[in-house]
Amino acid sequence: MRGLAIAALLLPLAIWSGSAMAEPPSAPEPVTIDRVCDLIETNALRHGVPRAFLARLIWKESRFDADAVSPAGAEGIAQFMPGTAKLRGLADPFDVERAIAASAEYLAELKAGFGNLGLAAAAYNAGENRVTRWLASGGFLPLETEDYVLDIMGEPADNFTDVAYAGTVHPLDKDKSFSEACRQLPVLQAATIAMASINIKPWGVQVAGNFRRAAAIKQWQRQKARFPALLRDYDPVVSRVRTPIGRRGVYAVRIGVDARADADIICQKLRGAGGAHCLKQNVTDSVDAPAGMAMDRCSGLGDGWRGSAWRHGRN
């Protein structure tokens, strides 16, 4: 009995001692822009990928948001699809440190496999098989991928079909160090649209268009200034639209909506206020004009834009 009593007295002490010695769980390191830029720089150098290229790609993917989830299901700061993350050995796409490392490693492999960074970016976005088929059979990449490469590399994906062509990775800001410029990406790249936020709408009102991207954006800015009450709540998407005018197509600025009726309402308001518009269904396939598509003609956009766009003819 005496032994049991001593044991009973010692047990709480043992429990207390064990608790005192146990390490409390460490809080995860906060995801700051400083940390993200440091991880980008470290992993870019480790895997032989240009720092500015990796920074632009990660920014384009998620706006440096570690918790980003796209409408298609891509996850984390580097926007890995679950299947790709599993193939890459990335257990948690929301782990910023591991995700950026996996992204840099994957991009280095894509560059080695396809021959240049332009095709590596295209494959990161559209998938390796899609880019391989495009190179072998011709045709077109998805418009989303063409815009993706243009935002990151500053030139069209078509330029990189010659694998000997490397293109030029420009610094984030020629007057600043990478470290400083990376931390200012929210200002430098404010006009780009994160892939994680793109939820393609079936219908859209086209409010500007031009053969030159910069001119199309300026047209949108003029339209927005002209009709602030009507357009201030919309975030447009800039994409390259193919037309019979030429293979390169034009850059279109569109406001996405869910239904034809919503697009009609905006069009009527714009028309009533003296604005120009095109009604267009977003096309995500790689062909110019799928079956069932009809031509819509608009006017008044000017600056070399002849107003041809595709819309769905069955609705």
Q: Name the pLDDT band for 72 (thresholds 50, 70, 90).
A: confident
- Per DSSP, the residues of 218-230 read HHHHHHHHHSHHH
- Per DSSP, the residues of 162-226 read STT-------S-TTS-HHHHHHTHHHHTTTS--GGG----SEEEEEEEESSHHHHHHHHHHHHHH
Give me the chain's average pLDDT, please.
76
Of the listed ranges 8-12, 78-82, 178-182, 200-204, the least confidently predicted one is 8-12
- The answer on pLDDT for 297 being more than 70 is no
Q: Name the pLDDT band for 284 (thresholds 50, 70, 90).
A: very low
Q: Name the pLDDT band for 189 (thresholds 50, 70, 90).
A: low
Mean pLDDT of 51-73: 93
DSSP SS3 for 240: strand
- Going from N- to C-terminal start, the domains of the chain cover 33-188, 200-312
- The answer on pLDDT for 139 being more than 90 is no
pLDDT given at position 188 = 54
pLDDT given at position 37 = 97
Of 23, 29, 41, 61, the active-site residue reads 61
Identify whether 23 is a catalytic site residue: no
pLDDT given at position 206 = 82
Mean pLDDT of 169-176: 94
Q: Which residue has the higher pLDDT, 3 or 298?
A: 3
CATH of 200-312, picked from 3.30.70.1070, 3.40.50.11720, 3.40.50.300, 3.20.20.140, is: 3.30.70.1070
Beta-carbon contacts of 97 under 8 Å, excluding residues fewer than 6 positions away, are: 39
- The answer on pLDDT for 82 being more than 60 is yes
DSSP assigned state of 285: S
- The answer on pLDDT for 311 being more than 70 is no
CATH of 33-188, picked from 1.10.530.10, 3.30.230.10, 1.20.1560.10, 1.10.357.10, is: 1.10.530.10
Q: How far apart are CA 188 and CA 170, in angstroms?
A: 13
- The answer on pLDDT for 21 being more than 50 is no
- The answer on pLDDT for 289 being more than 60 is no
Q: Which residue has the higher pLDDT, 3 or 182?
A: 182
pLDDT given at position 272 = 77
Is 145:135 a contact under the CB 8 Å cutoff? no
- Per DSSP, the residues of 71-101 read TT--BTTTTB-HHHHHHTT-S-TT-HHHHHH
Q: How far apart are CA 137 and CA 212, in angstroms?
A: 27
Among 67-71, 171-175, 187-191, which range has the highest average pLDDT? 171-175
Q: pLDDT (tens digit, 9 = 90+) per residue, 236-249? A: 777 666 665 555 56
Mean pLDDT of 110-122: 97
- The answer on pLDDT for 305 being more than 70 is no
Q: Which residue has the higher pLDDT, 181 or 295?
A: 181
pLDDT given at position 242 = 63
Convert 173-206 to b/e letters by CB count within 10 Å (16 or more is b).
beeeebeebbbebeebbeebbbbbebeebebbbb
